[in-house]
Structure 1
Amino acid sequence: MNKLILSIVLLGTTFVNAQDRYSKGMEKAFELWQNQKTTEASNMFERIATAEPDKWLPYYYVSQINTVISFGEKDEDKLSKQLERAKEFLDVAKAISPDNPELLIQEALINTAWIAFDGATYGMTLSQKNAQLYQKAMELAPNNPRVVFSKAEWDMGSARYFGKDTTPYCKDVERALELFATFKSETPFYPSWGKERAEQVLANCGK
């Protein structure tokens, strides 16, 4: 009996230590990202992902960093490598956590980075894909503020492209901000971005 209790205690201690290493690693990676050290942050998240193959969040953040730094990139070879890396890590995250609205939004952002780089080449096919991704995300999580806002901003961009009024989507941005005020996740390091961007969009809404 004593051996059994000791084994349980040791297993619990190992789990706590592993969780502690995970938390400290994630905090360090976010600190690097906050300090504009994107390559170091991406590499850190990748190391955590390798050590924690059952957690989708480290894979998600590798994908997100490589997507964010691709906007405005003019070098096609560099852009391709970054977005291919983003998609590679996203695919693993989706395998770990299927039907995850945060991952659907991330996939749409990768597509948007391609469209921003070369709308003539990627606009038609990827725009249709994005519409489907945002629709599915809304069906899965209609009260997720990032889902509501990301879809609204995409719809605004589409309306602007076709010369239509963007005002009808202002109410969706307002709703997203209301949701940002109350949305909580019990999962540590869960995505929390979007509120500041939504405030900026709302400030210029309908103008």
Structure 2
Amino acid sequence: MKQILFSLLMVTGITFAARAQSEQYQQAMNQQVGLLDSASSFTQAGMQQLGNTFERVAEAEKTQWLPYYYAAYCRVNEAFFTQDKGKVDEIADKALLNIEKAAALKGKDSEISCILSMIASARIGVDPMTRGMKYGMESGQHLEEAKKLNPENPRVYMLEGQALLYTPEAFGGSKTKAKEKFEESLKKFATEKPADKLTPHWGEGYVKALMADLSK
């Protein structure tokens, strides 16, 4: 009888501990993802700080793919924001490491492919003339994969539009085509229904800002 009681207490204790850990994870993630919805977070320092936090959460919750995903998202944005071109690859490498860990847990996913595309695009900025062809092609391939995995993902069309907007016309860029992609992206955002607060949902505000600039 004592053995049975002890076993029940052990199981109950483990259940409560797991539930507490799960709640702690949810609270931490909700708070940090909420900060990503604030424009004030989008600075080099802001992305670096959030990236550090997501990495700590990821290391504490090694079976969850989203902390690694968001850590990668923050790192690649940090790479875009940095003015020191000599640091871009180092930061992009951190983003790549995180998104590879996310992919190992999640498998093939449209959102993961979008981050891989962004990482390749960030590397172009170091030296567009020598890197444009290699990493531009890599970025595009990841977006094609993202679209195949989820044609309704608005971030795919946002990133396609961004590539067209910032690529010189001599190399295939087009503000007109970029606008078309942004319009398609906004239509997808209008119908997107994230499963919960942690599901990737970023990008709509950015697309609207780019559209406003194109309308000037």
Alignment TM-score > 0.5, same fold? yes
For residue 24 of structure 1, the aligned residue among 27, 31, 41 is: 27
Q: Could you tell me how far apart the structure 1 residues matched to 2:49 and 2:122 are?
A: 21
Which residue does the alignment assign to 1:100?
109
Q: Could you tell me how far apart the structure 1 residues matched to 2:134 and 2:97 are?
A: 20
- Write the mapping of 1:8-47 to structure 2, written as runs, cut at 5 A: 9-30=12-33, 36=41, 37-47=46-56
State the AA in 2 paired with 1:26.
Answer: M
Which residue does the alignment assign to 2:169?
160
How many corresponding residue pairs?
207
Q: Which runs of 5+ in 2 are unaligned?
A: none
Q: 1:206 to 1:99 in 2, by over 3 A?
A: farther
Structure 2 SS opposite 1:46: helix
Q: Could you tell me how far apart the structure 1 residues matched to 2:25 and 2:188 are?
A: 29
Q: 1:32 to 1:164 in 2, by over 3 A?
A: closer
CA contact (8 A) 2:113 2:142 kept: yes
- Deviation string 1:104-157 (CA, Å, 9 cap, x unpaired) is 111111111111221123111111111111111111111111122222322343
Q: CA deviation at 1:93?
A: 1.0
Q: 1:163 to 1:27 in 2, by over 3 A?
A: closer
TM-score (norm 1): 0.84
Q: Could you tell me how far apart the structure 2 residues matched to 1:40 and 1:200 are?
A: 24
Q: Could you tell me how far apart the structure 1 residues matched to 2:48 and 2:162 are?
A: 28
State the AA in 2 paired with 1:180.
Answer: F
- Write the mapping of 1:1-207 to structure 2, written as runs, cut at 5 A: 9-30=12-33, 36=41, 37-158=46-167, 160-162=169-171, 165-205=174-214
CA contact (8 A) 1:30 1:41 kept: no
Structure 1 SS opposite 2:79: coil
Q: Could you tell me how far apart the structure 2 residues matched to 1:168 and 1:75 are?
A: 31
Q: CA deviation at 1:14?
A: 2.9
Structure 2 SS opposite 1:90: helix
Q: 1:74 to 1:172 in 2, by over 3 A?
A: closer
CA contact (8 A) 1:134 1:151 kept: yes
Q: Which runs of 5+ in 1 are unaligned?
A: none
CA contact (8 A) 1:165 1:206 kept: no
CA contact (8 A) 1:29 1:42 kept: no
Identity over the aligned pairs, expressed in percent?
26
Q: CA deviation at 1:7?
A: 6.0
Q: CA deviation at 1:48?
A: 0.9
Q: CA deviation at 1:28?
A: 4.1
Q: CA deviation at 1:64?
A: 1.5
Structure 1 SS opposite 2:194: coil
Q: 1:43 to 1:13 in 2, by over 3 A?
A: same
Q: CA deviation at 1:31?
A: 6.2
Q: 1:94 to 1:110 in 2, by over 3 A?
A: same
TM-score (norm 2): 0.81
Q: Could you tell me how far apart the structure 2 residues matched to 1:107 and 1:127 are?
A: 12
Q: 1:117 to 1:14 in 2, by over 3 A?
A: same
Q: CA deviation at 1:83?
A: 1.4
Q: 1:165 to 1:127 in 2, by over 3 A?
A: closer
